Amino acid sequence: MGELIQVGMAECKLARPPDKLMTAGLGSCVGICLLDPITKIASMCHIMLPYCHHDKPAVNPGKYADTAILAAVGAMHRSGADTDHLIAKIAGGAQMFRFSGNSDIFKIGQRNVLSVEENLEKNKIQLLGKDIGGNVGRTIVFDPATGNLAIRTIHEGDKII
């Protein structure tokens, strides 16, 4: 049956079948799921912010899109994944609160998604599916055996990408 491995906020974890990865409470945060389709080694990161703006290494690389992707790829490589052929699926990046004005500073969900997409492209990781934006929270479960990302929302129901 396998274990359901919980990924907390600002964490990155690995799994291989029959285990699955799960994170809850994705609002403006983004869940990044990476998979080596050959070895079936997978990673899930629950990032909170788009970029780590420090010259020194991030204390918690799982918190930021740019450092989380690098940390996940490194951990997958050390576990035997072929990181030259990774694929990705992402979910989250909602706008959970309404703000007046046009400032992008409050559009953290959009900024997170943009950073994730830019960093996946920079690292030559193909993005195969996404469920992003809106104003609903998400819980996601990633299955390394199939590559399916199951997404549950309170108001919009369940879907698989």
Per the annotation, the verdict on 52 as an active-site residue is no
**Cα separation, 13 vs 1, whole angstroms:** 19
pLDDT in tens, 94-137: 987 665 555 555 688 999 999 999 999 999 999 999 999 998 89
Q: Are 41 and 76 in contact (CB under 8 A)?
A: yes
Sketch out the chain's domains with CATH numbers.
Answer: 4-160 (3.30.1330.200)
CA-to-CA separations, 17 to 32, 42, 48, 87, 105, in angstroms, rounded: 18, 9, 27, 16, 39
Catalytic residue among 12, 29, 33, 45: 29
DSSP for 28-58, please give it.
SSEEEEEE-TTT--EEEEEE-BS----SSPP
pLDDT recorded at residue 59: 75
Residue type at 125?
I
Residue type at 83?
T
Q: Return the C-alpha torsion angle 154, 90, 132, 48, nearest 10.
A: 90
Q: Tens place of pLDDT for every residue, the chain, 161 residues?
A: 899 999 999 999 999 999 999 999 899 999 999 999 999 999 999 999 998 876 666 578 899 999 999 999 999 999 999 999 999 999 999 987 665 555 555 688 999 999 999 999 999 999 999 999 998 899 999 999 999 999 999 888 899 99
Give pTM, 2 decimals: 0.92
What contacts 45, CB < 8 A, 6 or more positions away?
7, 11, 12, 31, 32, 62, 68, 69, 71, 72
